[in-house]
Amino acid sequence: MANQNVRGWRRLIYAFGYSMAGFKVCFEAEEAFRQELFLLMFLAPLGLWLGETPIERVLLVGCLLIVLIVELLNSAIEANVDRVGMERHELSARAKDIASAAVFMSFALTVLTWGLILLPKWF
């Protein structure tokens, strides 16, 4: 592991740099991440505006952030599987499909959350 001897604030600074590098790589390489980030940029302010209580605002925006988190993990899994080999293997396909299903479930959570909070206000 890199920088094992680094402690304290320097470790946090290094960790922040690695995180930003991860965001950059995912943004550049993954179209799905860019699309979800665009949705977050549009829907997060809308969720803050439409939520009437702090809890509603956290739920509306938080589930959008969960989609991005799961997409980052999905991208990491796919990159790891592709590193092992590009040939078709049942376990590789299973790992990618399960990671993709996790992204789908995070979207389902978002739709459910937004629907349960906002639909009763309009109907």
Residue 18, pLDDT > 70, answer yes
Residue extents of the structural domains in the chain? 30-122
**Between 3.40.50.1260, 3.40.50.300, 1.10.287.3610, 1.10.10.10, what CATH number should domain 30-122 receive?**
1.10.287.3610
The separation between the first and the last C-alpha atoms of the chain, rounded to the nearest angstrom, is: 55
Contacts from 31-39 at CB under 8 Å and sequence distance 24+? 32/71, 32/75, 32/103, 33/68, 33/71, 33/72, 33/75, 36/67, 36/68, 36/71, 37/68, 39/64, 39/67
- pLDDT above 90: percentage of residues in the chain: 83
52-74 pLDDT, tens digit per residue, is: 999 999 999 999 999 999 999 99
CB atoms within 10 A of CB 88: 7
Q: What is the pLDDT of residue 75?
A: 96
> Can you tell me the mean pLDDT for 93-116?
97
Q: Is the pLDDT of residue 32 over 70?
A: yes
Average pLDDT, the chain: 93
pTM for the structure as a whole? 0.88
Residues assigned a catalytic role: 71
Q: Residue 60: CA atoms inside 13 Å, Cβ hemisphere, count?
A: 23
